[in-house]
Every structure is written in C-alpha cells, then in structure tokens.
Structure 1
Amino acid sequence: MPSRELVQVSPQVELCVQAFGHRDGPAVLLIGGASRSMDWWDIGFCDRLAEATGGLVIRYDHRDTGESTWYPPGHPDYTFADLAADAIAILDALGLERAHLVGLSMGGQLAQVAALRESERVASLTLIATSPQPRAPDLPPTTGPLQAHYDTAVPPDWTDRAAVIEYVVAQDRAYAADWPPQEEAVTRERAAAVADRTACVQASHTNHYAMRGHARWRDRLGTLRMPALVLHGTHDPLFTIEHGIALAAEIPGARLLRLPGVGHELPRRSWDTVIPAIATHITDSTNRKDQRWPTASEPETHG
C-alpha cells in the first residue's frame, strides 16, 4: 500500500495525502465529505479506480481530520472556501497542473466551488450524493427518519474510543438505504481505524459544522465548461434525488446517473456501476482534443 505523506498547502497548514497508481496517466483527486478523513475512500475503491483510469488517484485528510492540521474543537480557523482552496493547493504541492475532481457530499460542494474558482485546473467533475446548494428552499429537506436521528443522537465522550465508533456506525446506518451485516462490519472496522489515526477526534466531528459557510454559488454553475458527471442514490435521505437532478440540470452538459437503492453513501455493492462510470467519464474528458475548456464567454467546441 502506498505510504501517506504530509504536504504543505500554506505556511500554517499541512494535509495528509496518499496516492495510488501512476503519474503518467490522468490525475484524480478524491474529496471527502464533512468530518471525513481519507479513510472513507476505501483502499479497494482507490486501487480499482486507479487501474480503470490508468492514472493517479489521490485521497487526503481534510483539515481537522486524520493526520492533517487541526484546530481546537469548536474553533476552526478556516472557512468553507478555504477547504475548497485546499483541493487546488494539493495539486500545487504534488506538481500537478490539472486533475479530475471526484467529490462526495460536502466534497462535491467543495469540488463545485474549486471548479468555479480555478476552472483551468479542473479537467472534469464527478459529483456524488451532493447538492447545488445546501438548504435550498426549492429542494426537499432531509428526510424525516434521518432528521429524527439527528434530533436524538447524543455526542459521545470523545475520549472513549468504543463510544466514538458506535456513534459513527449509527450515523452511517442512518445514511444508508440498506444495511447488510457486511456493510456494518466494514464501517465498524473503518471507524476504528479513523479513531486511531485522527489527531483530535472531537475536532474532526465538530469543526466542519462550526466553520463559516460559502456565499451562494448555485447561480454560477451555468458558467462551468468542464465535463460533469452526477452520481446520486435514489434513496439518499440527506440530499434527496431531486438535488442530483437539479445539479445535473444546472451544469451545462452534465450527465446524471441514478444509483437505484443507494442512500447517502458509496457502498461496495455500487462499485461495479460507479467505478466504470467514473473511469469512462475521465477517459472521455482526457481524450477531448481541446484540453483547454472554453470560458463562459467563449463558445464550446467539440472538434
């Protein structure tokens, strides 16, 4: 397994990254959701995606997760925009000119903002289980059962490893459309690894929700000119399928792939669909003759 390394993305911030595959192919940057370290991008998923694309697949720890720079619980000294900028800063640190961004949940929102800010650095977007804007009034809210979980969940003693693991497993169970025993076993094992590797467990579970958000970006999605693929579970309880439909409709030329029976998750049973879809999307984007995507004021050509 490739080793993890700390890269400097600013004078005060180090992020832990891990790369799979080969630098002579397309670069793919995986951007995780809120409070999620790189561990939630399964190693098997990364290996298979690297093989399918023939390139370099990179996963990383957000600030306050894993081995990256962390801040006192409840006091994150960064914003949502800073987390979006981190994605591009990782490319700089690794000497990569451009990358295909693959973001899940909050990671998908960070990918949208990064693409709007640094369009020349983003070869394509793959947006999984995410939304064009959190809490949009025209899109359905969190489903009743998931909201009930939020309302009744009690934060654990963050120093109690077993309690933290149970808390994470219960959260992921609430996000899932189906919860077979093997899925719970995988989640429990991963949650244990995360608890053991995270510098400050409490900060990792609280600070992303305490940071300042980003100004509305949804009305600018129509200016994006890189290929976009939207993958969305039909049973997502956090961002219902309507969020994926709206996102695909608002990014020019975006394609929507519904994942039947999938919730707010990327379960192993979906990989046989998801990995080929992402790989084909990346290959098609890489093979386009015009590698400099037109700006909003230029006509898009398909040469």
Structure 2
Amino acid sequence: MTTRVMKTASRHALKGSLVAAGYGGKAAVHGLRTGIRRTQRFPALPELPAGRLVDLPGRGEAFVVDTGAPEGNPGAPTLLLFHGLATTSYLTWFSTLAELCETHRVVMLDQRWHGHGIVSERFSLEDCVDDAAAVLDVLGIERVVAVGYSMGGALAQLFWRRHGERTAGLVLASTAACWRESRGDALFYPTLDRANDWLRDHYRRQVLEVRAGLSDQRHVGREMSAWAWGEFRSTSAWAMFEVLGALGGFDSRPWLGEIDVPTAVVVTGRDRAIPTARQRALAAAIPGASVHETPGGHASVVFDVHRWRPVFLSAVEDVVSEVARAE
C-alpha cells in the first residue's frame, strides 16, 4: 500500500470515527434530555438577569450579561465568569447568580463557538480571554475577580496570564492546569488535532447553522427542563472537537507559580471528567491558593448545587475579602 493510499485511508477512518462520535453524541444528548425531564434533583429556574449582544470592535458580536452594581453599593467588586465546555454562561452559572449578584457586579459572556458566542474561523482559548478583556473595555471596567468552571477555569488562568493588570483575584472550580497528562491523552489529542485540521470547515458550518437558528428569548416563560435543554442545544455538538483540541494544547504548569493574586480552588471530590488529583495539583502549584472541597462530581454546579453552592460562594468571598485587604 502506497503512502498516499495509507494517508487517504487513515483520513477516511478518522472522519468516519468522528461522524460516528457525532451520532453517539446525539444519542447521549437524547439521554440527557430524558434525564433533565425526569430528575427531581434539578433546581428550579430562578429569575435570570438579561443579556444583550455587544459589539467588540474588530472581534464580532458577543452575548454579554452585565448585572451592574448591587443597589446601594456602587463600588462592589466585579466578578468575570467563564463558563464550561459545551454549555453557556447561563447554563453554567444560573444556580449561583442570585447570590453572586447580591454583593457583586457580575459580568459573563458566551464564549466563542458556544451558544450566542462569536463564531470565528477557528476556536482558541486566547481569543476567548481577549474577548472578555474587550467586554471590560466596552463596559468601562478596570479590574475583576476572574471565576471559571471546568474549561472556564483554564480561561480564568489564561486571563490572568494575558491580562494580569486587570485580574484582582482568581476562583478556579473543577478545573486543571493541563488536559493532556495521561497515556490515553497522549494518544487522543494528537489524533484529534489531525482530524480537526481536516474537518474544521465542516465543524464551523455546523456551528454557524445552529447559531443562525437561535432565538433571543432565552428564558422568558420557560420551565426548567425546556430551558436547560434549549441552552444545551444552543452549542453545536460539532464544536466540541475543535474546543477539545484547543484544551488539549493548554498547559499552565510552567507559569502557575507566578500567579500573584488571591486565588481559591474549588475541588469536586468525585470528579471523573477532570480527575480530583489534577484539581488538587493545580491548587498546590499556585502560591497561597486556598482549597475548598465539595463531595460531588463534575456537574455539581447543577445537579449537586445544594452542597456545591455554599462552598463555591465561600471561596468567592474569601478571594474578594483578601483582595479588599490588599487594596
């Protein structure tokens, strides 16, 4: 078999695997939808702050939520929230927004290739954090406590790296310093990178198609399961290959020891998506980082919220208080 034939066969095999994965993903989504409808553990949908499309000069239109300062507290600290993989800003943070908004100004946006976010030629973590900085420019906000969950934790770390002068503190939840650590990772990510190079245009077309069909009425008159399903579906399943590829290239370990702002790490004790050991290793590498442990799994932010939320809110308050003392 010639080298050219072998490469062509390999390409078709990879493409077939990803297509199969796409169908498998749809089956998994169907199962999730059924679970959302049936579960009694899903919290009630609270009243959510409205968002709007904001033009970021030279970058595109991003969907942004800005709650403004709490009434009577115009100098309240600002939290910049980064959401997780395959979700949206609302879907990651809806269960904690009410409490956060009582004492903070909260800003969050749908990241590129997610929900109502910017659809660029390709996805990069660097573009995402630069989008967030551009949002702060538009809103006239100088410094924030960057808060991230899962993928959002990588973004929060990178926000400090690229925009340290704007980062007053960090809260990193259910996240890690590197996604490519195990032997399995060492095989998976290079293969994914090659497939992404071939199929990126297809992914982007699918993301654009989903984005074009989204409604601006994201939570008006929606009951919990219908709303959650709508938010989940607003991110194309095809986007995940591209985003996972970007995460596979993320590694903050060489510079974690340089982080010089108050930092809290919220660890999910039974996490299979991002192993708990990786979360603890992240905390150990950041000078002076506090560790706040919760007993649940990776989706605790939604499905174990009654145990997760108080721990997370305590971590936020610890960082905000330390920032206030330092100033």
TM score, norm. by length of structure 2:
0.65
Change (3 A) 1:246 1:187: farther
User: Separation in 1 of the partners of 2:323 and 2:176?
Assistant: 25
Gaps of 5+ in 2: 1-47, 186-205, 211-222
User: Separation in 2 of the partners of 1:114 and 1:283?
Assistant: 17
Gaps of 5+ in 1: 142-157, 162-184, 292-303
User: Which is greater in Rg?
Assistant: 2
Q: Work out which of the residue numbers 88, 111, 118 in structure 1 matches 2:133.
A: 88
Q: Work out which of the residue numbers 87, 105, 111 in structure 2 matches 1:56.
A: 105
Could you list the per-position Cα deviations for residues 247-294 of structure 1 after superposition, in whole angstroms to 9, with x for gaps in the alignment? 1110000011111133344132234423431342243133223x3xxx
Superposition RMSD on alpha carbons, in Å? 3.0
Change (3 A) 1:207 1:13: farther
User: Separation in 1 of the partners of 2:243 and 2:300?
Assistant: 19
Q: Work out which of the residue numbers 250, 254, 257 in structure 1 matches 2:285.
A: 250
User: Separation in 2 of the partners of 1:257 and 1:186?
Assistant: 29
The answer on whether the counterparts of 1:126 and 1:278 sit within 8 Å (CA) in structure 2 is yes
Q: Work out which of the residue numbers 192, 199, 204 in structure 1 matches 2:230.
A: 192
Aligned position for 1:180: none
Q: Does residue 270 of structure 2 align to residue 235 of structure 1?
A: yes
Query: Counterparts of 1:202-281 in structure 2 under 5 Å?
Result: 202=237, 204-211=239-246, 214=249, 216-267=251-302, 268-281=305-318
Aligned position for 1:4: 51
Q: Work out which of the residue numbers 115, 140, 154 in structure 2 matches 1:66.
A: 115
User: Separation in 1 of the partners of 2:247 and 2:297?
Assistant: 30
Query: Counterparts of 1:52-131 in structure 2 under 5 Å?
Result: 54-71=103-120, 76-131=121-176
SS in 2 for 1:14: strand
User: Separation in 2 of the partners of 1:246 and 1:212?
Assistant: 17
The amino acid that maps onto 2:314 is: A
The answer on whether the counterparts of 2:84 and 2:92 sit within 8 Å (CA) in structure 1 is no
Q: Work out which of the residue numbers 176, 179, 191 in structure 2 matches 1:134.
A: 179
The answer on whether the counterparts of 1:45 and 1:271 sit within 8 Å (CA) in structure 2 is no
Change (3 A) 1:212 1:252: closer
The answer on whether the counterparts of 1:126 and 1:228 sit within 8 Å (CA) in structure 2 is yes
User: Separation in 2 of the partners of 1:41 and 1:212?
Assistant: 18
Q: Work out which of the residue numbers 91, 108, 118 in structure 2 matches 1:40.
A: 91
Greater relative contact order (Cα < 8 A, sep 6+): 1
User: Separation in 2 of the partners of 1:214 and 1:132?
Assistant: 11
Aligned position for 1:283: 320
Could you list the per-position Cα deviations for residues 193-226 of structure 1 after superposition, in whole angstroms to 9, with x for gaps in the alignment? 443xx3x635554442355864632111101100
Between the two proteins, the alignment pairs up a number of residues equal to: 242
Change (3 A) 1:275 1:48: farther
